[in-house]
């Protein structure tokens, strides 16, 4: 931890010393929520978000805040180690081509609904008890196993021992977006009716967990987390098929690491059960194996958690942006960004200026981010990028 701010209702514990003003104000806002518990934790990859900074952790007493989870509920990472130790570039290009043929990218969906078996089961009750999930279920069957856009990616990598890995970053697609927006609108309406003393401009309307809307949101959110995991698992299967078809029929695949970094969960911290909101943050308990990706030109990390109570047993979810998307498109030099990737022999996804929002220069230095959270995680493996598909 770098420092603690004691200027607000509860402390703000920071794992960085260069937080942008807008994100810092959002951290102060959540620290002044009447239900915020003990302290607020801000990870080293933190940057400005919607209502709450990306890379923030809020523990809430008895309530849940839809915007403190975000619209891409369950967004997270999947990583798999293979028995391969090398892939020649022509084969690697064939693998990436095969992945693009079976995994829809950006706004694209499958033309036909995927089998029900690819969809997660409802943990308690029936599908009819989840109104938004039920209404979107058929559409979600065309979206499971699709990448989406923004910073979502599929990447082929090499570990420190030479083993080939692959990694998938994606979330709950339109399903999570619909759930998030529906319940945030309910929260805004109820908070207005109750005359809650929280400025609407903070965009942090909440739902009490002892009332039906909060309880139903929580259950729909958990389904979206499961859907996002299933989404990544299906893409994992498609990548494995591409590797088998294009490289070798005799590849062994390790146990996947599949984790979320946008969700809320009921956990015990500092002697109390609270709803821990991780928005762009990964759980890092001692039993957890986590994934912290860099940008498409830099290394990613497989990590083990340290259960640090000061971070509510959390760590960063990536490198974190240092430029907004429009800013990166305006200010970064396409030729320079491409040259840096090509110097490392990375098959990258930079084609034109519109792609600069996902260029390495738009992100923080991942080595600095990792150094700042050495009290949160231990590094298990370092993965260097070989080829990248962006949504």
Res 263: pLDDT: 98
Catalytic residue among 269, 317, 348, 371: 317
Res 163: pLDDT: 98
| Residue 262: pLDDT band with limits 50, 70, 90 | very high
pLDDT tens-digit series, residues 138-154: 999 999 999 999 999 99
74 within 8 A of 152, measured Cβ to Cβ = no
What is the chain's mean pLDDT, rounded?
Answer: 96
| Residue 125: pLDDT band with limits 50, 70, 90 | confident
* 3-322+363-390 under CATH 3.30.390.50, yes or no: no
Helix (H) or strand (E) holding 173: helix 173-193
Backbone angles phi, psi at 37, to 5 degrees: -110, 130
**CA-to-CA dists, residue 162 to 18, 53, 81, 115, 348, angstroms:** 35, 36, 11, 36, 20
d(CA 149, CA 139): 17
For residue 44, give every residue at least 6 positions away whose Cβ sits within 8 Å of its Cβ, in sequence order, or none. 15, 16, 55, 316, 320, 364, 368, 369, 372, 373
d(CA 328, CA 321): 10
Is the pLDDT score of 181 beyond 90? yes
| Residue 88: pLDDT band with limits 50, 70, 90 | very high
Is the pLDDT score of 319 beyond 90? yes
Which residue, among 390, 301, 281, has the nearest Cα to 337 in the 3D structure? 390
Q: Running DSSP on this structure, what letter comes out for residue 336?
A: H
pLDDT tens-digit series, residues 201-245: 999 999 999 999 999 999 999 999 999 999 999 999 999 999 999
pLDDT tens-digit series, residues 342-383: 999 999 999 999 999 999 999 999 999 999 999 999 999 999
Is the pLDDT score of 124 beyond 90? no
**Mapped to the 3 state alphabet, what secondary structure does 38-56 carry?**
EEEEEEEEEECCCCCCEEE
The residues spanned by each domain of the chain are 3-322+363-390
Could you list the beta-strand ranges (E) of the chain. Answer: 3-5, 12-14, 36-47, 54-60, 63-64, 76-81, 153-158, 164-170, 207-208, 257-260, 262-269, 272-279, 281-283, 289-292, 300-305, 314-316, 377-390
Res 123: pLDDT: 86
Average of pLDDT values for 118-146? 95
pLDDT tens-digit series, residues 49-87: 999 999 999 999 999 999 999 999 999 999 999 999 999
Q: How far is CA 89 from the centre of its chain?
A: 29
Residue 348 annotated among the catalytic residues of the structure: no
> How many residues are recorded in the chain?
391
- Max Cα distance, the chain (Å): 63
Helix (H) or strand (E) holding 329: helix 325-331
Which residue, among 126, 137, 99, 105, has the nearest Cα to 227 in the 3D structure? 137
Res 297: pLDDT: 86
Which residue, among 343, 137, 144, 352, has the nearest Cα to 229 in the 3D structure? 144
Q: How far is CA 21 from the centre of its chain?
A: 23
Q: Running DSSP on this structure, what letter comes out for residue 278?
A: E
**CA-to-CA dists, residue 115 to 100, 141, 285, angstroms:** 20, 7, 34
């Amino acid at each position: 931890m770098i420092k603690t701010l004691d200027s607000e209702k509860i402390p703000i514990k920071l794992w960085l010393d260069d937080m942008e003003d807008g994100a810092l104000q959002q951290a102060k806002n959540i620290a002044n929520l009447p239900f915020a518990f003990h302290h607020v934790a801000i990870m080293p990859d933190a940057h400005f978000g919607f209502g709450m900074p990306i890379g923030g952790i809020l523990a809430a007493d008895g309530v849940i805040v839809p915007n403190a989870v975000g619209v891409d509920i369950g967004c997270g990472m999947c990583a798999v180690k293979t028995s391969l130790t090398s892939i020649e570039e022509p084969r690697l290009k064939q693998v990436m081509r095969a992945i693009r043929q079976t995994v829809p990218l950006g706004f694209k969906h499958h033309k036909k609904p995927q089998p029900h078996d690819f969809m997660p089961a409802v943990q308690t009750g029936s599908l009819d008890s989840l109104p938004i999930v039920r209404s979107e279920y058929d559409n979600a069957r065309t979206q499971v196993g699709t990448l989406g856009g923004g910073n979502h990616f599929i990447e082929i990598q090499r570990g420190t021992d030479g083993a080939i890995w692959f990694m998938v970053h994606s979330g709950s697609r339109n399903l999570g977006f619909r759930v998030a927006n529906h319940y945030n609108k309910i929260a805004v309406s109820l908070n207005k009716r109750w005359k809650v003393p929280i400025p609407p401009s903070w965009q942090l309307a909440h739902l009490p967990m002892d009332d039906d809307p909060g309880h139903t949101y929580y259950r729909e959110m958990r389904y979206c987390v499961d859907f996002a995991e299933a989404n990544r698992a299906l893409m994992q299967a498609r990548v494995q098929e591409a590797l088998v078809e294009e490289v070798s029929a005799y590849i062994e695949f390790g146990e996947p690491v599949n984790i979320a970094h946008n969700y809320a969960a009921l956990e015990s911290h500092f002697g109390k059960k609270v709803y821990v909101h991780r928005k762009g943050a990964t759980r890092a308990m001692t039993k957890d194996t986590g994934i912290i990706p860099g940008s498409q030109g830099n290394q990613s990390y497989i990590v083990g958690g340290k259960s640090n109570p000061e971070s509510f047993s959390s760590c960063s979810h990536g490198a974190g942006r240092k430029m907004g998307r429009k800013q990166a498109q305006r200010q970064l030099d396409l030729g320079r960004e491409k040259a840096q990737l090509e110097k490392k022999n990375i098959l990258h996804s930079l084609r034109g200026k519109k792609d600069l929002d996902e260029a390495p220069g738009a992100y923080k230095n991942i080595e600095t981010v990792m150094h700042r959270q050495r009290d949160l995680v231990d590094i298990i493996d370092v993965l260097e990028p070989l080829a990248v598909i962006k949504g």
